[in-house]
Structure 1
Amino acid sequence: MSTSFDGFDLGSFWEESDYAREHYQDEPPTEELVRAIERELGYRLPRAYVELAGHRNGGIPLKQNHRTDKPTTWDDDGIAITGIFSIGRQKRYSLCGPLGSRFWVDEWDYPPIGVYFANTPTAGHDMVALDYRECGQEGEPKVVHVAQGDEFEITVVAEDFASFIRGLKDDDEYEAGA
């Protein structure tokens, strides 16, 4: 069976740390949990997100930088993330957890464009989201960077979630322009 990550090494994708296990990483989600989280969020999660969660449900990637086509508040041509939220409710950084997607909309006034799924080194002053504005609640969302400090400017990072994950670079690759 073909998956979104065929040929991609998920075995060396994640950082192993107590912090990641405590705040991000959860058990692989069941189909029932995925559907319940989707109902709670109001959006169908991308198949690639669910597949990634089946391998490891949330955590801190070893590669945390991604190029963009235009400047962001983070860099002239890219963004950085610090973690990817798990599909669940229990972990601090889970999609429906204490600092999950709704928190950023309800408490920080981020625009309700979809699902906020990755935080950044700015501690909430910019976030990464699945943007459903063009595709609707059931479609395949783009991945965007949303800059709170720049009047919530939205910058497209990747056309879909799988491309976002495949496009993450480590510091050396990013600095070398790879």
Structure 2
Amino acid sequence: MLPDLTSPFEVGPSLWTGPPLTEDMVRRAEETLGVRLPRSYVELMYRQNGGVLKNTCYPTSFRTSWAADHFGLDVIMGIGYEDGIDAQSAELISEWDYPNVGVVLGVTPMAGPDTVMLEYSKSGPDGEPAVVYVGEDRIPRRVADSFGEFMDGLVSSEVFEDEDEDQ
């Protein structure tokens, strides 16, 4: 079988890749989290249930805990397993004192002091969440109006390599 070159994930399973997704897993995750997960996220998880991203940087117009103009996101968590968003989000919000505005989406290179979340404070639990970056100051900053827009905005870390060496 040939690798899916359109996938945002690195080829092959990782510790962050869950079992094949089922409707029941999605239903249970949404019940646990108390929100409707974005359809674009769920559709991606049906293709591969979480994993390590190929493009790991997201450009910003503000300074982050990571850099002057971007942040990194190494992993997007899947659904319905030990390291999935439904099992990890509430625990991570509590452990790292993130604002309780939604669901922790993945793992940054710093693995804790900052994060990326699906943010439901404006849309409500049944609406389309925005995507926010939460830095060490714990202020959620909107970076995309939807999960799909967020995924489309991810770029290769090579875009920022020269800049990071100067900091």
TM bucket, shorter chain: 0.7 to 0.9
Give the conservation status (yes or no) of the 8 Å contact 2:58–2:153: yes
Q: 10, 15, 20: which is aligned to 1:15?
A: 10
CA drift of 1:32 comes to: 1.4
Cα offsets for 1:49-91 (capped at 9, x unmatched): 001001111000110001122222212221111100011133x
Q: 90, 98, 106: which is aligned to 1:110?
A: 98
CA drift of 1:16 comes to: 3.1
The one-letter amino acid paired with 1:133 is S
The correspondence of residues 64-103 of structure 1 with structure 2, limited to 5 A, is: 64-90=56-82, 93-97=83-87, 100-103=88-91
Cα offsets for 1:114-160 (capped at 9, x unmatched): 0001111112000100000000000001101111x22x021111110
Counterpart in the other structure of 1:171 = 157
CA drift of 1:13 comes to: 2.2
Counterpart in the other structure of 2:144 = 158
Quote the sequence identity (%). 38
Counterpart in the other structure of 1:138 = 126
Distance 1:10 1:138 in 2: 32
Distance 1:110 1:30 in 2: 29
The one-letter amino acid paired with 1:138 is D
Cα pair distance change 1:170/1:125, threshold 3 Å: same
The one-letter amino acid paired with 2:11 is E
- Give aligned pairs, total: 160
Alpha carbon RMSD of aligned pairs, Å? 1.9
The correspondence of residues 25-36 of structure 1 with structure 2, limited to 5 A, is: 25-36=17-28
Distance 1:170 1:103 in 2: 29
TM-score (norm 1): 0.82
The one-letter amino acid paired with 2:6 is G
Unaligned runs of 5+ in 2: none
Unaligned runs of 5+ in 1: 1-8
Give the conservation status (yes or no) of the 8 Å contact 2:99–2:139: no
